[in-house]
Structure 1
Amino acid sequence: LRREEVAQLAFISTEYYTRLEQARGPRPSREVLAGLTRALRLSDAERAHLHYLAGAPPAPPPGPSREVRPSILDLLRRLPHAAALVLSAAYEVIAHNDLAAALLEDFSALPRHERNFLRRTFLDSSAGERQWYSRSGMEIFGRTAARHLRAAAARYPDDPEVAALVKDLLAGSAEFARLWAAYDMSVEPAPHKTFRHPLIGPITLNCDVLDIADRDQRVVIYTADPGSPAEGALRLLSVIGTQRLDVPG
């Protein structure tokens, strides 16, 4: 972009923008910095650095990012033999591939408010029927989720959706309220997870998590060991997809 274009997009004069570039202007306000961030399409890290250079610490981001990078979406498509999904900092499922939909459910078919992994696990009335996790797996997942959500609530104190999620979970799930009250901040890795699929039965899969630091997102990838029963189960799920095989009568 040319100087004139950046200035126009940031709603400041070209002269003032030129003086800022040359370190001759007065210290820019937060509003000016916000305009420059939008105009230059800066990432969160670049935004923070811009504020640091200007001597004005940035305000907390308004809420968890829900925009998934195209390269991450392409990664999901390139993993046909793995179930993969992208979670926001508040556990909203913001992208997933076909095998993840077959293993868990098709989150894209749900209203956005219901695409939250924690809501589906702890608050949805049909969660007992899905039984994504074994009892021990549910305990580990719950402790990890409570720790992550507590951290997200601290990072996004002004986000009404994060606040509402915490409030709803504490009011609607005694199990989550117990885990939240325990204040367990220890890190408990879970390299394997056992899912209870209504058609396939128990499936134990490898679980790997990739952090996308600049978006505060996580890519969760479930894979099966070569030649294992789980590999055959995933292969069958890739054929079945999200269809139901209920037998009438």
Structure 2
Amino acid sequence: MLCGAVVVNSGQRVLRYLSVVRFVTQFGTRTNVTYIQGQSPEPRIREYFYYIDHQGQLFLDDTKVKNFVTCFKDKHFLVFFFTRLRRNESGRYQDDFPFLSLCGRERNFLRCDDRPLVFTHLMPAAGGIVNQPIRTETAGGTLTDVGTGGAPELLSFCWGGDKLAVKFRPKSLYMHPGTGRVYHPCSERLGGVGLVRSALAIELSPFFLYPLQQHQSEQPTHFLWAGQQHTLTNELAGCFPPEEEGGMS
């Protein structure tokens, strides 16, 4: 998988076997999909299947127990995978695995719990420091301070550090009215919307401001950051189809 990298899962090489995976889509539709990890639908082509959860952890799709122990943690691998990720327009598994990461003759299909890109932590640009005293978790679960002082500039995704990051745009944060999940813009090739990991969203939550007559169960109108009160644009609201208005589990 991914240009000949050895696949290891729970300390053992992954064997090729038929998987019939049943899952519920984000819209509540039950679906079955059949595949073999490493299958070759045509000469010299290999196909692999992945899943990313709402914490930004990447797994082989048919991994039975999905947690920190079984997710992919090698930074080089993650950067390689996500920099090549795009919408699946291959004509294969498009409904069940809507995203695809290509590597030569390998097709790496991806489905997601929510969005294919999950922002995992804030970090300063090279040589900089962040404005607010934010504590975030490393991939190993250790809390670390990212500093105080200057304005935060990078929002890193999928545990890729500064190799997988976009500029942080406070006014573009969007809190979904149905789920309370927080989102931030990302590359258009991945749908334009990235999910903010729940642990990071909790750290950011005190900086959302609400009208005096509203409770925090309502939509925030501003975000206080770097000494400024940013008016939230809610520009991402139009990226969610009507089916999602009722919220996702």
Give me the TM-score of the superposition, normalised by structure 2: 0.31
| The structure with more helix, counted as a fraction of residues | 1
Q: Which has the higher contact order (CA 8 A, sep 6+)?
A: 1
Greater C-alpha radius of gyration: 1
| The structure with more strand, counted as a fraction of residues | 2
